[in-house]
Structure 1
């Protein structure tokens, strides 16, 4: 069967491969803990700089994408990932000068904010109602192949190495792949030409302007639904710091960190596919599907943090660099590796549900771009705080903070799910009515 280049599914697959090669490789480096370095301080400060600029460009990213389109924004943004990976080559040779890595992190935050807004527009607005979970799962699976590949590279290259930091060769491989991903951004079709399977166009909104985008972005912070989702957004990447630095980098040697990431990101693929079956099932109404998926996330997350507490109690003082666990030490490694892999699955469950909730709020692609930008911006605010906490507080305090933040997001998420309309037809009427409103500040309802 011939592939339709302008189909919504093809475009989701293409943006999935862009993120496979750019954010996927970045995740692989981050997942090693400390950016693949023995001393995590430089990576922590670079991550703080990254997520500080990501806050601004994440929130503003939806407006930038609406004005500039998806192709060139992704193309330009993709190269900031390559620059960041290249900065660790410099750090390998100048370990006392982290300035280039920190500056590259700040630039990457700007690029990533725009790239993820473009990705979010494609993933959430190109699907039909019955495809939302499937499109999220397809993207998440392809994207996390990058993390799997990024785990294989350091595992294979450093298999016989006794170093605790990545070699230049691994970082060079990441740079080449990320440059390829940036160039793939130009293969995306303009949204105006993309069609869904039923023949409908994905472009449902009017033209926009910088002034209008600025107003619409400000209005996000006056929207009760977006405010209710603030805890969900804030905590959605907060846990990465603890999992990457305190579990993976804190307990395991460098080759085992790569080995672990193969399965961490692989479990993300499995988790996103499984929850998509629940989110798209025609057996239940939309609201019921949301509640059932939330119940899965709730049980999974509490189990993960309970297991993390047990692991912490086993190694309350951590493990010295020279004696960190190798994957061949099955009696010591198996339990911690299984927990780390399940952490990856829990992340996929949470992120898939979050995107599904956002995709259920409106059919307007410009609004979805702004909503995803808001999600990524507030998510980055949480990450900024988390990376600095890693420097300043104990592992146990980090663990308790993560668990408490998830608990604080429960009630607001349930309220938003309860507010979601059950039928796509209701969304069409609500969006049409909203476009005719002159006073946009009254837009506080949740539209399906």
Structure 2
């Protein structure tokens, strides 16, 4: 599909509008999230009135409530539509961000719980809206396009933080209260994203309306999908996305900030790290946006394997160059080698690059195989991812860097293995979930859980028993 077709495709235009909303929200939120733990640690040193690890506690609470909410909100998302589900999510993010104007543990923990619930509405709604605006031709391109635009938020946030910390560090900003100015800016930008979401157009390809599900019916349907072999295999990749994101968004930046041998102004280095991660994310998304459906030639399995191999090599480099106690408190120790600014920034970029590859493939898997059950499928994806993030942040004040890297490295290996098995058994390169320009349904295996035909006009799912349309 050339550029002129992209412009005229209604679904693609909707995806671009959606991505702009997310870019605005996460420019603000991720900028704040990137410095959350170091900022709270600086506030603790100034007043002693907040737990020095409250940032990690906040993340753990957030992802705990996110985990639970993902399982039960699907009928609400179906009832109020994907757009208004995302609006609820935007409001929750703004409420959380505003709390940093009056930073205290009580408000932080309560709004972390609210944010966890709101985030489930945001991400399940996003997955549903994205699925409703994709066809067989546009799945890979639109998911990658979403990722590229979305991740400009990380690049922009990194540049913003760089100038924010150009002549001063987090400690000085907290001491003077000047950081509150930036909180006001972040809240205003998030509000613009919320406003844009309120005016999103109707989805281009809305599936046929089904009877409204109750929460119990939703749970049964979700757990039914959860037990299917493809979803069981994908669960390892889902878990790894949670571990990966927790590491590059909070734990690794904290390592950079707390490793004093990296320089006097590690706050500025933190911003450069954010920029590098954003560049890595955008580069990976851009590659797959250009490749589009040509990525199928390589296969989702080997793409995931490549991404996991990149992350494993980065984990080894971080273990060699960073002190083991870097995630816990400021330290002047070294790893096996003297900490290096170039290694730190290079690792940031490659962490973002590998994470974007895996995330775009996950979205492609789910849009491919669970078109009609998109709310359930994306809820399960976020459910598993949130479990991993909750675990990662819960153990953050207890685990050394070695412990973190061992855990994440193990799941990176498992993700690569299960991606290969899932592709071979259920997502075969030649007999894929979708077959373009054909009126046939191609069974994949005798235990195929879903039969799906996606054409230029949208997707149709067939029941397994009678080979008839749902």
Per the alignment, residue 267 of structure 2 pairs with 254
Q: CA deviation at 1:146?
A: 1.5
| C-alpha contact 2:319 2:401 (8 A) present in aligned 1 | no
| C-alpha contact 1:29 1:36 (8 A) present in aligned 2 | no
1:134 aligns with 2:134: no
Per the alignment, residue 243 of structure 2 pairs with 238
Query: Matches of residues 262-411 of structure 1 in structure 2 within 5 Å?
Result: 262-278=275-291, 280-281=293-294, 285=297, 288-312=298-322, 315-318=323-326, 321=330, 332-364=340-372, 367-411=373-417
Per the alignment, residue 453 of structure 2 pairs with 428
| C-alpha contact 2:162 2:272 (8 A) present in aligned 1 | yes
Per the alignment, residue 182 of structure 1 pairs with 194
Structure with the bigger RCO (C-alpha within 8 Å, sep 6+) is 1
Which of 166, 169, 172 in structure 1 is aligned with 2:184? 172
Alignment partners' CA distance in 1, 2:200 and 2:404: 40
Which of 110, 128, 133 in structure 2 is aligned with 1:121? 128
Per the alignment, residue 212 of structure 2 pairs with 209
Q: CA deviation at 1:163?
A: 3.5
Question: Structure 1 residues 244, 121: closer, same or farther in 2, change over 3 A?
Answer: closer
1:87 aligns with 2:99: yes
Alignment partners' CA distance in 2, 1:2 and 1:407: 39
Per the alignment, residue 119 of structure 2 pairs with 112
Q: CA deviation at 1:67?
A: 1.8
Q: CA deviation at 1:390?
A: 0.5
| C-alpha contact 2:300 2:419 (8 A) present in aligned 1 | no
SS of the residue corresponding to residue 242 of structure 2 reads coil
Q: CA deviation at 1:78?
A: 0.2
| C-alpha contact 2:128 2:374 (8 A) present in aligned 1 | yes
Per the alignment, residue 94 of structure 1 pairs with none
1:150 aligns with 2:157: yes
Alignment partners' CA distance in 1, 2:146 and 2:341: 31
Alignment partners' CA distance in 2, 1:41 and 1:439: 55
| C-alpha contact 2:311 2:350 (8 A) present in aligned 1 | no
Q: CA deviation at 1:292?
A: 3.4
Alignment partners' CA distance in 2, 1:35 and 1:229: 34
SS of the residue corresponding to residue 428 of structure 1 reads strand
| C-alpha contact 2:37 2:53 (8 A) present in aligned 1 | yes
| C-alpha contact 2:38 2:170 (8 A) present in aligned 1 | no
Alignment partners' CA distance in 1, 2:413 and 2:109: 32
Question: Structure 1 residues 187, 124: closer, same or farther in 2, change over 3 A?
Answer: same
Q: CA deviation at 1:112?
A: 0.7
SS of the residue corresponding to residue 294 of structure 2 reads coil
Alignment partners' CA distance in 2, 1:299 and 1:143: 24
Cα offsets for 1:209-228 (capped at 9, x unmatched): 13253432232333222222
| C-alpha contact 1:33 1:244 (8 A) present in aligned 2 | no
Q: CA deviation at 1:8?
A: 0.3
Cα offsets for 1:249-283 (capped at 9, x unmatched): 2223222212221221122011112234455217x
1:13 aligns with 2:16: yes
Cα offsets for 1:305-334 (capped at 9, x unmatched): 22222223xx34439749799xxxx99311
Question: Structure 1 residues 377, 362: closer, same or farther in 2, change over 3 A?
Answer: closer
Which of 29, 34, 37 in structure 2 is aligned with 1:26? 29
| C-alpha contact 2:307 2:358 (8 A) present in aligned 1 | yes
Question: Structure 1 residues 295, 65: closer, same or farther in 2, change over 3 A?
Answer: same
Query: Normalized against structure 2, the TM-score is what?
Result: 0.80
Q: CA deviation at 1:439?
A: 13
Query: Normalized against structure 1, the TM-score is what?
Result: 0.84
Question: Structure 1 residues 223, 408: closer, same or farther in 2, change over 3 A?
Answer: same
Work out the number of aligned pairs and report it.
Answer: 416
Alignment partners' CA distance in 1, 2:310 and 2:384: 23
Q: CA deviation at 1:24?
A: 4.1
Alignment partners' CA distance in 2, 1:433 and 1:56: 30
Unaligned runs of 5+ in 2: 43-51, 258-265, 442-451
Alignment partners' CA distance in 2, 1:323 and 1:114: 42
Q: How large is the RMSD of aligned CA atoms in angstroms?
A: 3.1
